[in-house]
Chain A
Amino acid sequence: DVKVTQSSRYLVKRTGEKVFLECVQDMDHENMFWYRQDPGLGLRLIYFSYDVKMKEKGDIPEGYSVSREKKERFSLILESASTNQTSMYLCASSYNTEAFFGQGTRLTVV
């Protein structure tokens, strides 16, 4: 069974803090993704990576950065958290036709 694990289910951070969301997959997938999910907006792609140290901006990269130093780990970084980044964050990995998702991190910025 493919497993995608996100480090936290729930996080509460203060405005201006630097926030790290970690994601690890155990199936040697090349492609990894970070999405945010907001009611009525579906999933919006923030960044994706198709190889170690490779990254591409998705549809809403502003205010975020990513790091992929090892194949199994893809980190999302909020450089200076703001209240409009309160959301559910979903990590996914894929090899070909199927994407596998983590359980999500619900981030609240106060």
Chain B
Amino acid sequence: GEDVEQSLFLSVREGDSSVINCTYTDSSSTYLYWYKQEPGAGLQLLTYIFSNMDMKQDQRLTVLLNKKDKHLSLRIADTQTGDSAIYFCAESIRSNYQLIWGAGTKLIIKP
């Protein structure tokens, strides 16, 4: 069946770049998403990439997609304390309304 995997924790120093990785199994994915969940809040869409793209940049965020390896990454440049959150990777494979979710990566910022 479909599966999305990501590591549970990532710790980086303030000002460094954070790279959060995600692998997925279904090659028929149409869109791949990164959502951010701050403590005590719901999820917010951070960015998404269409499956026929290999890179998308939006200010401090860079998304890289390697379709051959089914690998998605989110790079956050100049990581700030406000970036502390859980980051979820998700893929949509059926009519764009059902998402398959990773377990979430908790990003911890060290001063």
Contacts and interface: CB of A to CB of B under 8 A. Distances in A.
Contact of B45 (A42, A43, A98, A103): A98
A90 B43 contact: yes
B55 interface: no
From B42, B45, B101, residue with most partner A Cβ within 10 Å: B42
B88 A98 contact: no
Contacts of A41: 103
Chain A interface secondary structure, helix, strand, loop or mixed?
strand
B31 A97 contact: yes
Nearest to B31: A97
Chain B interface secondary structure, helix, strand, loop or mixed?
strand
Contacts of A48: 97-98
Contacts of A92: 43
Contacts, number: 48
Contacts of A104: 41-42
Contacts of A4: 42
Interface in A6-20: none
B66 interface: no
B48 A42 contact: no
B103 A40 contact: yes
B98 A43 contact: no
Given A40-B8, A42-B104, A43-B88, A99 B99 contact: yes
9 contacts: A40-B8, A42-B102, A44-B101, A45-B99, A48-B97, A97-B48, A99-B99, A103-B40, A104-B41
